[in-house]
Structure 1
Amino acid sequence: MSSKHLRTRIRAFSAFLAVGILLGPAVALADPVPESIAVNVDQAKLVRLPSRVSTIVVGNPLIADVTLQPGGLVVVTGKGYGATNFIAMDRAGEVLVDRVIQVEGPTDQLVTIYRGVERESYSCMPICQRRVTLGDGSEYFKAAMDQAGNLSSQASGAAASKQ
């Protein structure tokens, strides 16, 4: 290696060190990236927060729902695809937590059938059965939701009559 080439490399390394020394404290003082919570749509996840949390604010409740339980435990439920955030505060209004919630698609074996622009979803574990998913055609979605509502009403009525 020539002495000229060696001097060039030493200057480049010295400049690199100088930039690192100058930027080092700034990088150390920067706020850390908030921890993200990943949850699947139509599923829930338990997250422990400080026990003094008294108020929760959700950025977009169409994407996720966050319910506060006693002792700082929260239930995060994925409602729609995408990302939002939630902020947890104490009684004095001090922000204790500000986290991103990433809602992802289902993890089961999902089969999607397209009929023109209409879409139907089926969960195939181990056999295929209807699974209402965001984005399904409105007629398919309504029929499945009506059936689920009727089943729930009948089950509630049967339980009430036994009491």
Structure 2
Amino acid sequence: MHIIIVMIFIAFASKVTALENCDILGSLEADPLKKTVPVKFEDLQYLKLIDACTEAIEIQDHHIGRYYLLRARGYLRSGSYEKAISDIKHSHDLGYAAATFAFATLHHFGEAMPKDLTRAEFLYKLAYSNGVKWAAQGLSILYKDISFSRYNLKLSHEWLEKF
């Protein structure tokens, strides 16, 4: 009986460790649901992050949107853009608001996918309406971009004030 209890405890501790490691290694400042201190993009230990988040995704059956988003940060840092985009889209499709913000950023700056400023605007607004305050800064930057069809300095200032 004691062996079974010890085995259950070890299995539970292992699960908690995987979930915590994903959060600790990849925490995103823009995520209103972050669990730990944010990690700067340039400081990401992407191999450890990808492994920890993959394990977290495999053992967790709820709230996995965050783990897909954090794993995507690892993929972005490693240069695996297709995998990163796939994870961000999946997290967004699961309704994880910080992933919606990340998806908007990808569309806005066009570094890992083609630039689409209209789609970025829509996604930033959706993220903001779901509690991601950083989306206001994204909208501020977007509205002062003269290449954007809805260029508007007044709106840019209004969104900056919301940040």
TM-score of the aligned structures, taking structure 2 as reference length: 0.22
Answer 1 or 2: which has greater strand percent. 1
Greater share of helix residues, 1 or 2?
A: 2
After TM superposition, the score normalised by the length of structure 1 is 0.22
| Higher Rg of the two aligned structures | 1
